[in-house]
Structure 1
Amino acid sequence: MSGSWYPENAYMTLLGDALRETGVDVRTPPLSLFFPLTRAVLANPDADAMQLDWIYDYYVTTGTGFGPANALISVLRAAAFLVDVALVSLLGVRIVRTVHNERHHEGLYPRTERLVNECVFAVADAVTVKCGAAADAIAATYRVPTADGMAVVPDGNFVVAYENDVSREAARRDLGIDDDAFVLLFFGLIREYKGVPDLVEAFADLDAPDAELWLVGNPHDDRTEAQVSALARSDPRIETRLEFVPDERIQYFMNAADALALPYRRILNSGTAHLGLSYGRPVIAPAIGCLPETVPPENDLLYDPADDDGLAEALRRAYDHPDLESIGRANHRHARSQSWEQAAETLTSLYREPSGGRQRLGRLRRASDS
């Protein structure tokens, strides 16, 4: 498995463990700077398949301090990466591409991104997505693959990944929140596409003196931190914790909240939504990407992002809801029904299929004809 692998990544850890339970020998080889995938395959000659999750790290460059230089280096790295993927496909190892995002979250190098994605899709033996809507979105955005040519492999839950033994009352005491306050929580890495300014604006329209909005997470950069800090100062009901939250502290914020607010401007998959379900939190979010398929019907707090008042109305619905706890219980039940074992079984069947050179050739021809 190749991608952003590190022990703190619950997705990779839980999926890797579930794959091992199905009998798969999962390896996460160190990735060298030059032709890392080919060298990983050569160092593991008995490998049957390589799963590619996040591929931006292989070519996206941002650190030179000079935009044109970043773009040029990204193009050169992208070319080397595509050669690397092509060599792996010639070595008899199945390539399984798992799609997490439709596009780069910050919109970096869109032409290069399109070329890289379409070439990888064409070469891959299998492409997996998290939901049916994601398959439709990828098929509409890129020339290959088709929606019915992708395998839908939903994520499991995070119930066992994080501690959850602190009560609502204890969590609120720890954070200094009154028992009768209504708490909305934004949680996660703060980036432009997550729409935190939109949430602050909508919250300002919520006429509720007992409501609090907690913005918790590490800003993506200094500009984002300054923007969020300035927005928070505009309303005394807003609290911020603009920092990385260790795993053992996540439960305090989740269990202290009445609802989790995720005002994404664009999204395909949301690990934070899965996290909220795992903690039994009601989820306020736009009805886009996989979110309508992620939450159960009882979580009637999704809104139309095309409606200018949609987010504000969703916050009001949550505030006025007579029984948010019932939504939380339904979300927790739904989370527990999503198992990593199911995901692992589907992926294992994809790994064990014969290498699809003929299918790859057909996809390459369709891409060139388009």
Structure 2
Amino acid sequence: MAELIVQQSFPEPRPTTNPYLVMLRDGIRTVPGVEVRTFSWRGVLTRRFDVFHVHWPEILVSGHSPVKKLVRQGLTLLLLGKLAVTRTPIVRTVHNLDVPDGISRREKWLLRLIDRRTTLRIRLNPLTPMPPQAAFETIVHGHYRGWYAPHPRSPRVAGRLAYVGLVRRYKGVDALVTAFHAAFGGPEGAEPVSLTVGGKPSSAELVEQLRSLAAGDGRIALHFSFLSDAELVEAVTRAEIVVLPYREMHNSGGALSALSLGRPVLVPDNEVNRMLAAEVGEPWVLRYDGELTPAALESALAQVRTLSADAGPDLSRREWDDAGRAHVAAYRRAIALLR
């Protein structure tokens, strides 16, 4: 019998599940005496467990229809009641700094309730602010090297820049397309350069805007669909550099994906990204200040060409076995704090 039963807030993984969750589950399972369960409403309401680990709590209280949303919200209240009666701690990983936009007052109230019931928080970098007097641990996001290992790498294409990931307004893909369109001397420039954008878009309006911005520039290829792991590996490894021009950037799995595949990234200059550069190697995390400009793209492409072909970023602090052990220690601390 397991010494510690950990109930996660995500269901059994599917092909579209965030790899972070799958790798975390597998990393925790390497610790002897620990059982990790994935989420089902029947399971969390009827079975015993020692700790409940929630990642994006808004998923618990949302639904694709008003009826489904209402049912989930009622089940969430039942779950919180059970956790209170059994004195089972909630551990929450703080992936995002803010409450999601566009949610109802009832959802916000339930999220505040979950927040008040949280015993311990896990942050992914030491700059994530924590509430006063809150118990927390810092456990960095692990790398993706093992995750992408089954997929073949593609040869690097000279002059290729890439963006991969969900295409949302706050991720600044419009700024990237605009800056690239004006960079490198225009479409008839002497250097063969190209930009590929791949990922599932958040809206038809954003797709139309990006297609309009790229119109007439044959160097820009837009692929608006969910990328499989094999497609992501191909898109990243064909590039000389991956550009992530997020307007808000605090925790980025996209940057770690590119670094895990041996490609440098160009990201906004902020304290989080400066810390990442100091950790993995300055040449691997290039930064720009303010708005993304054509000059920033041209400078970044020139800089990455100074890296040797066999070089790689230092991801030694981001092993999943280490993360698994650190999470188990955090769970045990949460249990001790509550009981």
Give the structure-2-normalised TM-score.
0.82
Match of 2:143 in 1: 157
Pair 1:279 & 2:261 matched: yes
Of residues 16, 23, 26, the one that matches 1:14 is: 23
| SS of aligned partner of 1:96 | strand
Residue-by-residue CA offset, 1:18-51 (whole Å, 9 max, x unaligned): 11111210011323xxxxxxx5344322x11110
Q: 1:184 aligns with which of 155, 161, 165?
A: 161
Counterpart of 2:287? 302
Cα distance in 1 between the residues matched to 2:179 and 2:11:
34
Given the alignment, which residue of 25, 40, 59 partners 2:35? 25
Number of aligned residue pairs: 320
Label 1:328 to 1:120 Cα distance change in 2 as closer, same or farther (>3 A): farther
1:1-370 correspondence to structure 2 within 5 Å: 1-3=8-10, 5-8=12-15, 9=17, 10-23=19-32, 24-31=34-41, 39-45=42-48, 47-61=49-63, 63=64, 81=76, 84-104=79-99, 107-109=101-103, 115-134=109-128, 136=129, 139=130, 145-146=131-132, 149-163=135-149, 166-169=152-155, 179=157, 181-208=158-185, 209=189, 210-288=192-270, 290-295=272-277, 296-298=280-282, 299-304=284-289, 307-308=290-291, 310-321=292-303, 323-326=305-308, 329-331=311-313, 334-353=314-333, 354-357=335-338
Match of 2:4 in 1: none
Residue type of the partner of 1:329? A
Query: 2: CA distance between counterparts of 1:292 and 1:240?
Result: 30
Counterpart Cα distance in 2 of 1:223 and 1:128: 36
1: CA distance between counterparts of 2:125 and 2:172? 23
Tell me by how many angstroms 1:163 deviates.
3.7
Partner of 1:363: none
- Take 2:193 and 2:80, find their aligned partners in 1: how far apart are those partners? 51
**In percent, how many aligned pairs have the same letter?**
26
Contact 1:267/1:289 (8 A) holds in 2: no
Instruction: Answer yes or no: is the 8 Å Cα contact 1:270–1:291 preserved in 2.
Output: no
1:366 is aligned to none
CA contact (8 A) 2:61 2:110 kept: no
3-state SS, counterpart of residue 204 of structure 1: helix
Counterpart of 2:55 in structure 1: which amino acid?
Answer: D
Contact 1:254 1:281 in 2 (8 A): yes
Q: Which has the higher strand share?
A: 2
Aligned residues of 2:92 and 2:120 also touching (Cα < 8 A): yes
> Displacement, 1:303?
2.2
Which whole-Å CA distance do the structure 2 matches of 1:325 and 1:5 have between them? 40
Q: How far does residue 351 in structure 1 lie from its aligned partner after superposition?
A: 1.5
Q: Which consecutive residues of structure 1, in runs of 5 or more, have no partner in the other structure?
A: 32-38, 65-69, 140-144, 173-178, 359-370
Secondary structure (helix, strand or coil) at the match of 1:292 reads helix
Specify the SS of the correspondent of 1:239.
strand
* Two-structure CA RMSD over aligned residues (Å): 3.0
